[in-house]
Amino acid sequence: MIRKNLLLLFMLIVCFANAQDTNNKPFKVYEDSLKVFGKVITNDTLEQNRVVANYKLIKTLVNSLKQSNSYAYPFDSLANIVSVIKSDDNKFRVFSWFMMSDDGTFRFYGALQMNNPKKLELYPFTDSFARMESPEDSTLNPKKWFGAVYYKIIPVNAQNKQVPYYTLLGWKGSNRQSTKKVIDVLWFDEGKPVFGLPVFEGSKKEDKIKNRVVFSYTSEVSLLLNYDKEKGMIVFDHLAPPNDKVKNMPGLWGPDLSYDAYKFKNGKWILQENVNLKNLPNASDEDLGNSNEAGVMQNGK
């Protein structure tokens, strides 16, 4: 009797495993195709081939997300090609990646998928940075997007009547000489994603409040931009010109071995200058925050 029950249990386990394998097989097939396209986008020397592969990657990714329960599939093996990050409350996840042009400039792509088990709720992003006059002052939407590869979503607590929002950390390649990182804000207006919110305050009262913070620096260095959860601070390198020749060219500046931070207080991020990093855990080596050598950023230096 015991032997019969064990046999029955084994058969149930095998059937369940097969069912799970059957459910995941379409996603695995899609993922394998995405990896192939991603390698072309990353490594092919002909721009035309990269453009075609990127188009195929977009089409394949959308088709994969149309499958039932797609939100639950992690796409883990795409980590070096496409950044996939979820919000802590599991309400949405963001896909983002880039393609480099022959002239050394970058084009960014992405989409936001809501955690909606009933239907695919997907918002594709259109990189419109080249047409932006004042990115730090702009309120944007998926059709007019700053463009970045995001590596961190920071949840924040809304204050009083303030709209709930999420803070995003991202890398944005610019050209062969200069690169960028960004602290952006994502919130929802009647369920639709919006980027940018006036929540970044300077250390002085007369400082202009920003909708997002953009760091420009020479591509020859890395910029620390990390979040310290315990202290509620976004910590980053202070940038300065290495000499007088480039003092009016912030895109060629670099870290000066001092650090600043944005401290979360009363629903806003307040600039703190000359912070002490000695007590900040992993301040110099957190996964994607300190280097454009990691993950999807490794080919965008």
E strands, the chain, where? Answer: 83-86, 92-100, 106-114, 122-126, 149-155, 165-173, 178-189, 192-195, 200-201, 213-218, 225-228, 233-240, 254-265, 268-272
- For the whole prediction, is pTM greater than 0.75? yes
- Check residue 8 and give its pLDDT: 44
Task: Report pLDDT for 2.
Answer: 46
Low-confidence ranges of the chain (pLDDT < 70): 1-25, 160-161, 279-301
- Specify the pLDDT at position 33: 97
In this prediction, residue 295 carries a pLDDT of: 47
Residues 6+ positions from 241 with CB-CB distance below 8 Å = 247, 249, 250, 252, 253
